[in-house]
Structure formats: C-alpha cells, structure tokens
Amino acid sequence: MRQRYTSVTIPEKAHPLVKRLFSEMRHQRIGVMDMADRAGVSAGSLNNWRSRMTPKGIPGLEACFNVLGYTLKPVKRKEAEIDNV
C-alpha cells in the first residue's frame, strides 16, 4: 500500500456497481493507484468509470471487487423488485 492515502470520491451519476466499488474503496482506504496496481486495471480506466463511462467488461470490475474481498454473483430478483423496474 502506498504511504499516503488520498480520499476517493464517490461518483453520483455512475453505474450502481461503480458507486459501490468506490464506496468500499473509500471505506477500506484504498486509493485509485493502489487499486489499479492490485487489480491489474489501469488507473485511467478507474477514473473513467467514475465520470465518463461504465466498465466495458466484467473481468476488470470483478478484479477490483476481488481486491476488496467481494465477488460478483448473479442473484434472482424477487417478484416485487421486478414489478418496480
């Protein structure tokens, strides 16, 4: 881990998974550069996810969540959730 941690901002208009990723990065005090090094994703991609675009593929997003101790897992939605969409 780097010596100096820079607080990660949580994007407002980003995809919900990206919001969750940055929220957990902030909670675990992992900066963008550390995440990029650990997950094998470029820091530029992480910054683009925050402001310009959604992740283009699952592997990079999943690698980031794995660094944080999470995995991506499909879960069947409940009937009530489907009706509200």
Q: The domain containing residue 27 runs over which residues?
A: 16-83
24-38: pLDDT as tens digits = 999 999 999 999 999
| Model confidence band, residue 11 (pLDDT cutoffs 50, 70, 90) | confident
Tell me whether residue 24 is in a domain: yes
Average confidence (pLDDT) over 66-79: 89
Tell me whether residue 66 is in a domain: yes
Specify the pLDDT at position 34: 94
Tell me whether residue 10 is in a domain: no
| Model confidence band, residue 3 (pLDDT cutoffs 50, 70, 90) | low
Tell me whether residue 47 is in a domain: yes
How far apart CA 73 and CA 30 sit, in angstroms, is: 23
Tell me whether residue 37 is in a domain: yes
Beta-carbon contacts of residue 30 (< 8 Å; ≥ 6 apart)? 1, 5, 8, 38, 67, 68
Tell me whether residue 5 is in a domain: no
How far apart CA 20 and CA 17 sit, in angstroms, is: 5
Domain at 56, CATH number: 1.10.260.40
Tell me whether residue 1 is in a domain: no
